[in-house]
Amino acid sequence: MIIAVIGKGGVGKTTLASLILRRLMECGQTPILAIDADPSSCLGPALGIAVGGTLADLRESMRETADRPPSMSAGEWLALGAQEAIVENRGFDLLTMGRPEGKGCYCFVNNLIREHLDRLSRSYRHVLLDCEPGLEHLSRRTSGRPDALICVTNRSRMAAETIRRSLALYREIHGGLPPRADLVLNQFEPAEPLAAEMTTIAAGANVAFRRVLAVPSDPQVASFEAAGTSLLKLDPATPALAALRAWELPA
Ligand SMILES: Nc1ncnc2c1ncn2[C@@H]1O[C@H](COP(=O)(O)OP(=O)(O)O)[C@@H](O)[C@H]1O
Ligand SMILES: [Mg+2]
C-alpha cells in the first residue's frame, strides 16, 4: 500500500505520519518505507533520525557531474547513490527527498528517480509519504499513485479548503479518487460541532471519506517535538496515539 499524508502546511502531516508509522509497526505491518517528501524535511527530526543525504542532493550531482563509471548504467548509478538518502531502522527505512529542483531540465534524472522509487517500493509492505504542503506533489505526479490518502486538517477553514481542492485536483489528474480517503481532524476533540463543519468543507460536493478521525491536541506530542525527542517513543497511552488506534489499518 502507498499511504500519502496530505494537507496544508502546519496542520500536522508530519506528526500524523509519525503516529501512523508507529501504529503500523505496533501491528507488525513491516517493513515500511517512510518517505519525507516535504522540502522542509521534518520527518527525520520528528522520528529522532539524523538525515544525511537527500535525493535532491543526488539529483543535483547526477545532473552536474559526468563521472559515472562507464561500466554502470545511469539507473544503476542512481540506485547506488540513492542508498545514501536512505536511513535504515528497525521496522522501517527513511528516505528524504530534500528541496525542490532548481532551474534547468531534470526530466532525465527525475524519470530515473521515479523508476527507482517504483522498484524500491516493491520490497516494502507499505510506503508512507509525508507530502509537501498543498497541491504540488499531486500535480507533479512524482510520488506514484497512493492507495490511501490521509487528508489532514486542523481548525482552520483554509486547511479544510486545501483538502477539498487537493481532492478535486487529484480527481482531475487521476480520473478518480484512490480506493481509500480518510479525513483526520487534528487537534479536535470528538463530536465538536466544528468537526462536522470542517468535514463538510473538506468533502466538498462529492467526496465520501471512508473514515473521519478526530485526533486530540496532545501535550506529550508538543513536548516531544519541543525537546526533539522521537515521536516513536511516545507513551502508548498518550491521547493522540490512543485516537489513532481507531484508525482502520490498511489491508
Ligand atoms: N495532535 C497534536 N497535538 C499537539 N501538537 C501537535 C499535534 N499535531 C501537530 N502538533 C504540532 O503542530 C506543529 C505542526 O505540526 P506538523 O506535524 O509539523 O505539521 P505539518 O507537517 O503539516 O507542517 C508541530 O509543532 C507539532 O508538534
Ligand atoms: Mg511536515
Determine, yes or no, domain membership for 204. Answer: yes
Instruction: Compute the average pLDDT of residues 51-76.
Output: 81
Determine, yes or no, domain membership for 249. Answer: no
Position 144 scores a pLDDT of 67
Would you give the distance in Å from CA 229 to the centre of its chain? Answer: 20
Distance from C-alpha of 57 to C-alpha of 200, rounded to nearest angstrom: 41
Residue 216 carries which DSSP code? -
Position 211 scores a pLDDT of 94
* Residue 12 in this model has a pLDDT that exceeds 90: yes
Position 94 scores a pLDDT of 96
Q: Residue 107: CB partners within 8 Å, gap ≥ 6? A: none
* Residue 245 in this model has a pLDDT that exceeds 70: yes
Position 143 scores a pLDDT of 55
Q: For atom 2 of ligand 1, which residue has the closest CA?
A: 217
Distance from C-alpha of 94 to C-alpha of 83, rounded to nearest angstrom: 11
Residue 102: give its domain's CATH number. Answer: 3.40.50.300
Residue 17 alpha carbon to ligand 1 centre in Å: 10
Q: Of 64-78, 123-137, 151-165, which gets the smallest average pLDDT?
A: 64-78
Q: Which ligand is nearest to the CA of 151?
A: 1
10 lines ligand 1 (CB under 6 A): yes
Determine, yes or no, domain membership for 140. Answer: yes
Distance from C-alpha of 2 to C-alpha of 10, rounded to nearest angstrom: 22
Q: Residue 85: CB partners within 8 Å, gap ≥ 6? A: 52, 53, 54, 55, 57, 58, 95, 96, 97, 98
Count how many domains the chain has.
1
Determine, yes or no, domain membership for 250. Answer: no
Determine, yes or no, domain membership for 251. Answer: no
Determine, yes or no, domain membership for 173. Answer: yes
Q: Which ligand is nearest to the CA of 8?
A: 1
Instruction: Compute the average pLDDT of residues 58-65.
Output: 77
Position 202 scores a pLDDT of 97
Residue 121 alpha carbon to ligand 1 centre in Å: 27
Domain coverage including residue 10: 2-244
Residue 184 alpha carbon to ligand 2 centre in Å: 15
Q: How confident is the model at residue 45 (pLDDT cuts 50, 70, 90)?
A: very high
Helix 55-64 with 74-82: angle, nearest 10 deg: 140
225 lines ligand 1 (CB under 6 A): yes
240 lines ligand 1 (CB under 6 A): yes
Position 66 scores a pLDDT of 66
Instruction: Compute the average pLDDT of residues 28-55.
Output: 93
Determine, yes or no, domain membership for 175. Answer: yes
Share of the chain above pLDDT 90, in %: 59
At 193-240, the pLDDT tens digits run 999 999 999 999 889 999 999 999 999 999 999 999 999 999 999 999
Nearest CA among 124, 15, 112 for reference residue 59: 112
At 98-153, the pLDDT tens digits run 887 777 777 777 788 888 888 888 999 999 999 988 766 665 555 568 899 999 99
Determine, yes or no, domain membership for 40. Answer: yes
Distance from C-alpha of 249 to C-alpha of 210, rounded to nearest angstrom: 12
